[in-house]
Structure 1
Amino acid sequence: MSVTEPASPPPDALPVTLKPSSAHLLRVVGTPPGRVVGFLTRFVWAFLTWLSPESRDALARFFGNLAYSLGIRRRVALENLAMAMPEKSDAERRDIARGAYINMTRVVLESLPSGDRLPKDWAEQGLEGEEAWRALKARVDTGKGALLVTAHFGNWELLGEMLIRRGVPMDGLVRPLKGALNTRIAENRVRMGAGLIYPRGAIQEIIEAVKRGESPLMLLDQALPAKSAAFVPFFGKLASTTPAMAVAAARTKAPVFVVMAVRNGRGGARFRMEVEGPILPPTPGECADPMTEHTARVTAALERCIRKHPDQWMWLHRRWKVQPPSEAALPAGTTPPPPASDAPPAG
C-alpha cells in the first residue's frame, strides 16, 4: 500500500544546519585525507554539486557499466546471484548484477554533494507500509526511541536524511573508514543532523540513544567473523549476521522496524520508503536462542524487500563467505526458507 506523507511540517522547512565536529569525525573516519588530496577532492565535490541530478545519474550509469564490463568483483556478484536466485536465467542474473553496479555508483554520487541532496518532490513519492510507519511515528512523537534496521540497498545514505526530515531523530551506527570519500560522507551525515555511533561500545550508546528518544539505524547485511555472529537464513543459506540489534532490543525493549529507501521511477533518482514492523522478538520459552531467532526474523524482512528489487542490493559483497560452525543449525523455532524456485518472483 502506498500513501503520501502528510505535509506538516513541510519537509523542506526542517533545518539541516548542524556543523560537523572535527574531533567526532576523526573518531569515526580515522585519519582525514592529506592536504593535497583534500584540496583536489574539493573540486570534485564542487563539480558534482554543480551537475544536475540527470547528469549525475548519467555519470553513475557510465561508471557502473564500466566497472561491470571491466569485471571488478563481477564473479562475486554472479556467484552470489546464482546461489540466491537459481530460478533466474543467466541473462537475468547478469542484468541484476549490472544494475547493482549502477546502484552503487549512484549511491556515491548522490551522497557526496552538500546541501539538499534529495529531489524536490521526494516527499510526494510516498511510502509503503502505512501501518508500520504510523506505529513508528507514534512512538517517536511521544519521545520514545525505536530500533531501525536497513541494508546496503537503494540509497542507504539518503535514507537517514529522509527519516530525519520526516521527524525521526536518527543515529547511524558506523564503522571507522579512511579517505576523502568517507570523510565527506561522514561530514554529510553529521550536517544533516544525524548522530553517529562508533562500533566500540555501540550497545551502550544505542541504549542511551533510545533513552533520549532517538532511533539508532544499523545495517544488518554484512558478514561477521563466526565467533561474533549469529547464523541466520538469508536467501536459503545461513549467513553470519551481527546480533547487535537483537541484543539492543532485549535490553531496551524498543520495537524494531525495517526501513528501506527504494529507488522509484525513471532514472533512479527518486525514492520512496518501505517500512515493515514492529518485528517482535520470540516470546519467552518460544525458542532456545531468542537473539538468533529475532535476528532471523529481521533478516527475513530485509530479504523480502531485496527480492522485490534485487538490482538495488550490493551483490558485490561476499555475504556468505563466513561458514557456520559445524554445530550450527537453523535457529530453534525458525521455519527454513523455501527453495529459491518457490520464492516469489523479483520485481
Structure 2
Amino acid sequence: MTGWAHKHQPWRKALRSFRHAAEALLQALLMGFFWLLPVDWASGLGGWLTRQIGTRLSTSRRAMKHLAIAFPEMPEAERRVVVASMWDNLGRMIAEYPHLGTIADPASGRVEVLHAERMVGVQQGGKPFIGFSAHMANFELMPIVAYNHGLNLTVVSRPVNNPFIQRILLYFRERPTGNWGKVPKGIEGGRQTVKLLDQGLNLGVLVDQRTSQGVALPLFGHPARTTLGIAKLAIDKDLPIVPVHLERLGGARFRITLEEPVAVPRLGDRQEEAKAMMTEVNRIIERWVRQRPGDWLWLHRRWDRP
C-alpha cells in the first residue's frame, strides 16, 4: 500500500460506514412503512413499486438473457411478462419481511403445507434431514414454517454486504421464532454445518445459485456450476435430501410442498454419486421453474458466460 493510500484509508472506511448507515436508515424507514400496512396492502404495494421501477432497470436485460437461455423458444413479449412477474414477486417479498410471522402463522391460513409428514417422520426417527429449495416465491418463509411445525431448521445464508441492513433483516427473520439457526456460506459455514448435523439438527439450503467451485451439471440443457456439498453430506451421513417447493398462489398466499427425498444412487464412487444426485436436484428445480417462471429470481447468473 502506498503512503497516500495508507493515509487516506481511514477516510475510505468512514465514507463506507456513512454509506452503510444511510442505506440502513432508508431500509428501516421502508420496512417500518410496510410494517404499518396490512399484509395484503404491503404485499400489493411492494409488488407494484418494483414492477414500475425494476422493469426499467438495466438488470432486467440480464434477466431477459437468462430467460433466453432457459426458454429459447419463448417469444420476447412473453419473456417480458415473466420478468415483470419476477419483479412483482421480489417487491412483494421485500414488503412482506415485517409480516413474515403473520404470514407463516398457521392460524392465518396463508401458507398451505403439503406432505409435512415427510419431514416430521424423519425427525421422529431420530435422524436429521437436509431440505433444499430455490430462490422462489418468498423463500424466507421456509425456516419459520418449519419452526411452526415443530421442526428445527438451520439455514445456510450469505449475509448482505451492509452489516446494518443485515441486522434489520435478521430482526424480522428471527421475530417469529425467537432465534432461528443459521450458518454462513463458505468453508467455516461448512464446518459448522457438519457439527450441527452431528448434533441432530436439520439443514435448509437454497441450491440454485452458481458457485465457482461447483461442477458443471445440466440445467435447462446448459452446463451450470453446481455445488456437490449437500449430496456428499447426505452420502457420508446417510441423510435424506428433501425437495421443498415454494409457490406464490397470489398475493401473500403460498403453498409449500415437501416432495419425495432424492434417491442415492449406488455407483461405488462418492464423487459420481454426488454428481448424479445434484443432477436430479437441478432437474427438480428446473421443473419448479417451468411451472412458475415468474416465481424464480432470474437476476442470478446461473450459467457461465458463452
For normalisation by structure 1, the TM-score amounts to 0.74
Stretches of structure 2 lacking an aligned partner (at least 5 in a row): 1-16
8 Å CA contact 2:24–2:165 kept in 1: the answer is no
Do structure 1's residue 303 and structure 2's residue 286 form an aligned pair?
yes
2:141 aligns to what? Answer: 158
8 Å CA contact 2:156–2:204 kept in 1: the answer is yes
Shift, 1:135, TM fit: 2.6
Residue type of the alignment partner of 2:233: A
2:34 aligns to what? Answer: 48
2: CA distance between counterparts of 1:91 and 1:121?
40
For normalisation by structure 2, the TM-score amounts to 0.84
Counterpart of 1:71 in 2: which secondary structure?
A: coil
8 Å CA contact 2:43–2:93 kept in 1: the answer is no
Do structure 1's residue 203 and structure 2's residue 186 form an aligned pair?
no
Residue type of the alignment partner of 1:201: E
1:217 aligns to what? Answer: 204
Change (3 A) 1:121 1:235: farther
Q: 2:301 aligns with which of 314, 318, 324?
A: 318
2:83 aligns to what? Answer: 97
Shift, 1:114, TM fit: 7.1
Shift, 1:188, TM fit: 3.1
> Which one has a larger percent helix, Structure 1 or Structure 2?
2
Do structure 1's residue 184 and structure 2's residue 164 form an aligned pair?
no
8 Å CA contact 2:103–2:252 kept in 1: the answer is no
Q: 1:263 aligns with which of 243, 248, 263?
A: 248
Shift, 1:243, TM fit: 1.4
Pairs within 5 Å for 1:217-256 = 217-225=204-212, 228-256=213-241
Change (3 A) 1:254 1:56: same
Report which stretch shifted further, 157-166 or 304-313. Answer: 157-166
Equivalences, count: 286
Shift, 1:212, TM fit: 2.6
Counterpart of 2:159 in 1: which secondary structure?
A: coil
8 Å CA contact 2:136–2:246 kept in 1: the answer is yes
Q: 2:119 aligns with which of 130, 136, 150?
A: 136
8 Å CA contact 1:144–1:211 kept in 2: the answer is no
Residue type of the alignment partner of 1:283: R
Counterpart of 1:126 in 2: which secondary structure?
A: strand
Residue type of the alignment partner of 2:247: V
2:48 aligns to what? Answer: 62
1: CA distance between counterparts of 2:18 and 2:228?
30
1: CA distance between counterparts of 2:46 and 2:229?
33
Change (3 A) 1:183 1:288: closer
2: CA distance between counterparts of 1:315 and 1:54?
24
Residue type of the alignment partner of 2:30: V
8 Å CA contact 2:245–2:258 kept in 1: the answer is yes
> What do you get for the CA RMSD once the two structures are aligned?
2.6
Counterpart of 2:41 in 1: which secondary structure?
A: helix
Change (3 A) 1:255 1:56: same
Do structure 1's residue 281 and structure 2's residue 283 form an aligned pair?
no
8 Å CA contact 1:122–1:270 kept in 2: the answer is no
Residue type of the alignment partner of 1:216: L
Change (3 A) 1:286 1:256: same
Stretches of structure 1 lacking an aligned partner (at least 5 in a row): 1-30, 324-347
Deviations 1:49-93 (A, max 9, x none): 111122212322222212333133111111111121123222221
8 Å CA contact 1:126–1:272 kept in 2: the answer is yes
2: CA distance between counterparts of 1:262 and 1:46?
26
Shift, 1:37, TM fit: 5.7
2:12 aligns to what? Answer: none
2: CA distance between counterparts of 1:118 and 1:269?
10
Shift, 1:182, TM fit: 2.9
Change (3 A) 1:222 1:124: closer
Report which stretch shifted further, 66-75 or 249-258. Answer: 66-75
Deviations 1:103-162 (A, max 9, x none): 11111111245753436655575334x3xx423210112332100111110111112211
Counterpart of 1:172 in 2: which secondary structure?
A: strand
Change (3 A) 1:114 1:219: closer
1: CA distance between counterparts of 2:248 and 2:284?
18
Change (3 A) 1:276 1:32: farther
